[in-house]
Structures are given as C-alpha cells and as structure tokens.
Amino acid sequence: MPSALSATPAVLTVEINAAAIMQARPPEPLNRDSAELLAGPIADDLRRIIGEEVAEAGLIFPAALYDLTELLQPGLPMVETLLDLYRGSLRGGPFSPQLLAIGSSGGRFPQAAIAPRRRPGAGPLLALPFALVAPGDQLDPLRRTIETVLLEKGRASLETDRAVRQLLGVEPVNLSYATFNDLSALMKVQLEHAEFGPLWQLIEAGLYRPESVEEVTLNTGNRFITTAGEVWTPWLTFDGLANQHQNDRETSEQTYTEWARIQRQYMAGLNSHGLPTHIFEPVSGTTAADLEVALSIAKAHTLSADTRWYREVIAEIKTSPDTAVVTLTEQLNSTLGPIAYTALIQATDGKLLGLVHDYPTDPSGINAVIDEWKNYATEHGATFHIERPGALTTIDHPPRLQPWLDYQGSA
C-alpha cells in the first residue's frame, strides 16, 4: 500500500530595498494566468538545483508574497493548506506529479487561510512559498537533499528574476531559495541581532516544541509562559512595579516605560507569528517554581478574550445617585503614547466614589477605555471630562499614579 501524501515546504526569498517598501504594501497576488507564468521558471530552478528527480514530486505554490511571520506559524498552517489543496486536485485518484500554481480570482484566493496579509511595511525580506508533494516514502530522500543543497546552491535564475520583476512589479535586491528551517535560522539571527533573542525562544517553542511548557523572564520584569502554541503573560502596573523597586519618581517612570515598551513589542511579535497572547493577573502562585502549577494558576486568572484593558482598582467604585463627575486622566509617555487612564468618580459634594487605573492592553483598548467611561457618566447622569497633561501624573515615594487634580484649567 502506498504511503500517505506528505509535503516539504520551501520558499523563494525576495529581498527588497527597505526604503522601497517601508510605507508600501507588498504587491497583490497574481491572477491564475500570471501565476502559471511564474511557476515555469521556478520549477526549472528546482530541477537545476536539486536534480531531475524533483520532477517525480508534485509542486504547488501560491503566487503571492508573504512576510516571514505569516509562514512561520505554529503547526505550519500554510503547508497543511497547500497539501490539502494538492490532495483535492487529485479528486480521489492516485498520486501523480503535477504543477499547481494558485492564483487569485477577482482579487481573492481560493483559500482565505493562505491569503497574504499585505501589511504596510512588511519585509524587506518577503517570500514566495511552495511545497513539494509526494507519498512519504518517496519524498523522504528528496527532503534530505533539499535541506542539504537548497540554501547553498539556491540562487534564482535570470529567468526567474525577470518573471518576478515583470509579474509582481518589484525590484528585488536578491532572489534565493531556502527551506523553512533556513527561514527559522534567519529569523533567529535577525531577532538576536536586534536583542530580541528571548522573543525567538518563545516563537521557536510554539513552532517546534508545542508540547513543552517554557518560560521567559526578562530583566525588565516582563514574563511569558508558553505551551501548545499560546502564551500567557502577567500585566504589571505602574504602582506595582514602583512599589517593588522603591525608586524615585523619575527612575520609576523610566522603569515602567521600558516594561511597557518591551511588553508591546513582544506581544506584537508573538501575535504576528500566530501565537495568541493571554493576559493574567499577577496573583500569588503564578511565579511558582513548578511551571505547570504557575500556568494553571495563571489560566485561572486570565482576562477574558474580549477584554481590551487591565483594571487596577485603587478605591472600589460605589454606585450612588449622587454621582456627579467622572474625570479621566490620560497617563501619557511621549514615545509610547497613552499607557493608562485614571478614572476618578466623585459625588456632588466632591466625595470620592471610585478610583481606578485602566491599562489598554492593545491599541484598540485606548478608545474602548474612553468610551467605557463616557458611557458610565451618561448612564449615571454625570459630567464627563478627560484631562491630558501630556505626561505621567505621579506622587509620593515610591510613586503612584494619580488623577490630574488641577481644576483651574483643562490639561
């Protein structure tokens, strides 16, 4: 009985001048006719680099440019989708090697799962992915050859270069072939060079060690636990971090700003690789030496998926018919933008009815927090106003956030 179909993925890397793509989107996917025109020289390149035996395997590729983060995702969904499409092309019949170039129709791909995101600023290294498909026992020796020779001998031909320029409308600096393992090694080097080595450790665990439970803790206080292609991270507050370090106001503000910057960068990087990041309250037990125990407690204190901010309660909100004023203070860093919003709720006589700090956990959380408090004020017949002092408003030692209290004028 023939073995089941298997696929081994690779890419044609397309390096573009960074200045040319900095503000632009990658080009649209090719239509079906243009996809077939590009498939020909790519297939010729593979026969030249790998050998004529490559023709005994099927070749399938989506004619579009992808950012590397779109390809290096847990479970390699791109590869699974390409394999499914190839199986479907056989219509239940026996395997036969064929060339399948997937192009768009009406601007859409036949499978939304492999539609390129075309995010502005993607690159400068983009990739045209493809997969060689054959029964497993037939593909194994070919897979070993590819891993050995593709990167070493994989410079694209002039015909492929010409086709990429004419059909995709880009001016590549370099065109070369690489395996997905090569891409992982390249991504690791790039992140380590940018001093994001721990971020790669998390991504690598999601890609290649999904069954393990691993932890990364940075000297800035950022902490991440990963397993099964997902990540959990505690949300630290300004007051909490300042109390932990017992520094002066200026140092505390710098420390928290650095924590917030790293937290945003890591969460964005993880999400771009398809690793969902869940935020949990930093309660007792989540720092247990036994990672399984720590993760279990973290999961029990994870914010719901639709929550877009983390709330730190300073004074419990009291429902009162005398609610008169809701003041929202924007806690801003000039580089990062809003870090938190301090909501002060007061009665007609000025009595405190509530004080909380809301920390947006993603960019959409900024407007969500503002709308939340606008609606709260409307529901309680209170006046709402927002103060923007243009900096963090802090008092005491160790410092803590406070609302803007200068009522002589709007900040």
Is the domain defined by 309-401 classed in CATH 3.40.35? no
pTM to 2 decimals? 0.90
- pLDDT tens over the chain, length 411 residues: 457 899 999 999 999 887 766 667 888 899 999 999 999 999 999 999 999 999 999 999 999 999 999 999 998 999 999 999 999 999 888 899 999 999 988 777 877 888 888 887 777 889 999 999 999 899 999 999 999 988 888 899 999 999 999 999 999 999 999 999 999 999 999 899 999 999 999 999 999 999 999 999 999 999 999 999 999 999 999 999 999 988 899 999 999 999 999 999 999 999 999 999 999 999 999 999 999 999 999 999 999 989 999 999 999 999 888 999 999 999 999 999 999 999 999 999 999 999 999 999 999 999 999 999 999 999 999 999 999 999 999 998 889 999 998 754 455
**For position 234, what pLDDT does the model report?**
98
Q: How far is CA 390 from the centre of its chain?
A: 29
**For position 27, what pLDDT does the model report?**
86
Exposure of 331 in the CB half-sphere (CA atoms within 13 A): 26
Ranges assigned E (strand) in 65-171: 66-67, 99-102, 125-135
Q: So where are the chain's domains?
A: 5-187, 195-300, 309-401
**For position 247, what pLDDT does the model report?**
87
Biggest distance spanned by C-alpha atoms of the chain: 86
**For position 23, what pLDDT does the model report?**
66
